[in-house]
Amino acid sequence: MKTNNVILETATRILLFIILVFAIDIFFAGHYYPGGGFIGGLIFAGALVLLLITYDIKTVAKFLPFNYLVVIAVGLLFAVGTGIGGLLFGKAFLTHWFTYVDFPILGKLSLHTAVLFDIGVVLVVIGTAMAIIQTIGESD
């Protein structure tokens, strides 16, 4: 008998975006409040796991056609790239800079190169968690 889980699918369609926005908020709040790359990436991977539970591996792979091993590699490239950026300007490895920029709507923001390092952490965490879960889920 084919079961029909329409309630779970409808709830997932709404909850997915709330969880993703929460993950992005935790990620960008990491410099001044609790949060950061690790927990933001884990919540993001949790949203993708909810998608995997509700649908199946083939549908999610069609919706997000990423090879998660490449995602890990790009994340490590971001982390090493910000370190080499310090070397290019004659400072020590992993030297970071920041500046204040006035945006039209958002106001005065501090742009920091540590965010680029954190993006690398996020990509590595998402790639590792999803690679583990997909590899375990696909094996019969």
Partner 1 sequence: MVDTFLYIALFAISIAMSGLIYRVVKGPSVPDRVIALDGLGINLVAVVALLSILLRTSVFLDIILLIGILAFIGTVAFAKYLEKGEIIKRDRNL
Residue ranges binding partner 1 (CB under 8 A): 3, 8, 15, 19, 22, 26, 33-35, 39, 43, 46, 49-50, 52-59, 133, 137-138
What is the smallest separation between the CB atom of 35 and partner 1, expressed in angstroms?
Answer: 7
CA-CA distance, 91 to 130, in Å (whole number)?
36
- In angstroms, give the least distance from the CB of 37 to partner 1: 15
**Token digits for 15?**
């909850």
State which residue, 62 or 88, has the beta carbon closest to partner 1: 62
Q: How far is the CB of 52 from partner 1 (least distance, A)?
A: 5
Q: Which amino acid is at 12?
A: T
For residue 109, the cross-strand partners are 101
3-state secondary structure of 111: strand
With beta carbons less than 8 A apart as the criterion, state whether 78 and 124 touch: no
79 vs 129, beta carbon nearer partner 1: 129
